[in-house]
């Protein structure tokens, strides 16, 4: 075994996207990945109809790079183009920082980490777009 060994437990009928293949176990199963593999769990897969914001569209595009490795070269170009447009459009420093981090991660071919960064920006985007109220800090009274 190597230091890249990873255990993944799947529930019955939970889809697992592995190197472009879709697996769905009929019972609870634990898989041991013995080498580096590109995968996504069903819970992290966004459906096309849910891409109703720019960041969700960016996430979906990155997700396609993982799910369909055969088209990854073309998809990464679309992803970089979208990312560039978003960097010119957004003025929120937190979102801009996240997008810049996505550039670095993409250059390192760490697309799964790109997805984590983008997911972490969804609430911020929703607040900016007025779809979620900003969380106000509680003020301490003396």
Residue 16, domain extent: 6-44
Q: 1 pLDDT band (50/70/90 cuts)?
A: very low
DSSP string, the chain: --TT-EEEEE-TT--EEETTEEE--SS-EEEEE-S---EEEGGGPPPGGG--SHHHHHHHHHHHHHH-GGGHHHHHHHHHHHHHHHHHH---HHHHHHHHHHHHHHHTT-HHHHHHHHHHHHHHHHHHTTSSPPPPPPPP--
Tell me the pLDDT tens digit for each residue of 26-83.
Answer: 999 999 988 877 788 888 899 999 999 999 999 999 999 988 888 888 999 999 999 9
Within-domain flag for 18: yes
- Please state the domain count of the chain: 2
- Do 25 and 77 lie in one domain? The reply is no
Within-domain flag for 39: yes
pLDDT at 15 over 60: yes
Within-domain flag for 140: no
Tell me the pLDDT tens digit for each residue of 64-75.
Answer: 998 888 888 899
* Most confident of the following: 33-47, 91-105, 117-131: 91-105
What is the C-alpha separation between 131 and 102, in angstroms, rounded?
A: 24
What is the reported pLDDT for 135? 56
Within-domain flag for 1: no
Say if CB 66 and CB 105 are below 8 A apart: no
Write down the mean pLDDT value for the chain. 87
Within-domain flag for 17: yes
- Do 40 and 92 lie in one domain? The reply is no
Within-domain flag for 139: no
pLDDT at 141 over 70: no
Within-domain flag for 40: yes
pLDDT at 125 over 90: yes
- Do 87 and 117 lie in one domain? The reply is yes
Higher-pLDDT residue of 21, 55: 55
- Do 53 and 109 lie in one domain? The reply is yes
Q: 126 pLDDT band (50/70/90 cuts)?
A: very high
- Do 123 and 74 lie in one domain? The reply is yes
- Do 78 and 23 lie in one domain? The reply is no
- Do 65 and 115 lie in one domain? The reply is yes
């Amino acid at each position: 075994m190597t230091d890249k060994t990873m255990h993944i437990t799947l529930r019955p009928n939970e889809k697992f996207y592995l190197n472009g293949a879709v697996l769905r176990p009929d019972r609870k199963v634990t898989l041991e990945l013995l080498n580096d593999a590109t995968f996504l769990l069903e819970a992290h897969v966004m459906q096309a109809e849910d891409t109703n914001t720019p960041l969700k569209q960016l996430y979906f595009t990155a997700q396609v790079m993982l799910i369909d490795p055969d088209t990854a070269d073309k998809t990464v170009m679309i992803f970089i183009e979208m990312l560039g447009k978003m960097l010119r459009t957004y003025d929120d420093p937190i979102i801009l920082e996240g997008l810049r981090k996505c550039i670095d991660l993409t250059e390192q071919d760490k697309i799964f980490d790109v997805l984590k960064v983008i997911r972490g920006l969804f609430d911020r985007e929703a607040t900016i777009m007025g779809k979620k109220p900003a969380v106000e800090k509680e003020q301490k009274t003396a």
